[in-house]
Structure 1
């Protein structure tokens, strides 16, 4: 992978909505070259998706429940953790699955409409899988920062401090 492609990835990761003209200027390249680089990165599945971060706290709508679940599993011979991770990420409630170091093997992030729906997922779907030994569920109460985006940055007081 070339240096320009790496730079392009870093730029798009911060803001995937930049116009081709701006990207071309930033990379000192032509729009056509940038467009070809993006297509190549998409075809190679290096760029998988363009996403929007939404602060649901500011939307008048039931926000639902997000939970982070630590999962301890028994890895399968010859496939390790991959097979159980795949079984877990295929559930529609699951938004993310990560292989972790430490006390637990997998970190699973799920979303549901209610606490009851999340608890049913854990007790009826996740915990019943053959390889799952134990789970610990943590409910997200408030998001402060997600993917580098601060949700509610306070206005800073820029006045000079005056003291007697």
Structure 2
């Protein structure tokens, strides 16, 4: 779909701040709030704007740290549907946050969240590995998030520049 310059501007601004108020956004792109609202509704209807989300640093909330794992999956594609059918079977599990078709040694990259490492291990052995097309998996546990979707999680406000004096 070809978008207008104003529609592209709306997308770029909303991508950085999905909580921006329509009247503020309208001023930024030099349109009326009604025109801006109409653009947003069109982009939502066309599924260009898919969702609005928040980035939460769960490590700072006691008892809610959880475990995130990235799982590389080697798959045998099925005739006529390729990787789509197995990807759909995988993303239907509630633990799964993301599924990507990848180039390289593995076909799919799956990101899941669980309460513990053993819960993730149970998912891999009991659900993921039992899917017919899955040949092998490699699981990587995320130890710490520094930056996710453009958001820096733990920024050190201390100034690390070298002091220069005459």
TM (norm. structure 1) is 0.95
CA distance in 2, matches of 1:158, 1:129: 50
**Residues 23-62 of structure 1 mapped to structure 2, 5 A cutoff:** 23-62=25-64
Pair 1:102 & 2:104 matched: yes
> Does residue 117 in structure 1 map to residue 119 in structure 2?
yes
- Between the two proteins, the alignment pairs up a number of residues equal to 164
CA separation in 1, counterparts of 2:60 and 2:76? 41
Q: SS at the partner of 1:7?
A: helix
Matched, 1:11 2:13: yes
Return the match for 2:128 from 109, 126, 129: 126
Q: State how far apart, in whole Å, the 2-side matches of 1:162 and 1:5 are.
A: 47
Q: In 1, distance between residues paired with 2:103 and 2:133?
A: 17
- In the aligned structure 1, how far is the partner of 2:110 from the partner of 2:48? 22
Secondary structure of the 1:60 match is coil
Unaligned runs of 5+ in 2: none
Kindly report the root-mean-square deviation, in angstroms, between the aligned alpha carbons of the 2 structures: 1.5
**Partner of 2:72 in structure 1?**
70
Structure 1 residue 61, shift from structure 2 partner: 2.4
Q: Deviations over 1:85-125 (max 9, x none)?
A: 00000011100000000000000000111111110100010
Give, in angstroms, the shift of residue 43 of structure 1: 0.8
Distance 2:34 2:99 in 1: 36
Structure 1 stretches of 4+ moved >4 Å: none
Aligned to 2:41, what secondary structure does the other structure show? helix
Q: Does 1:149 align with 2:151?
A: yes
2:11 is paired with a residue of what secondary structure?
Answer: helix
What is the SS of the residue equivalent to 1:110? Answer: strand
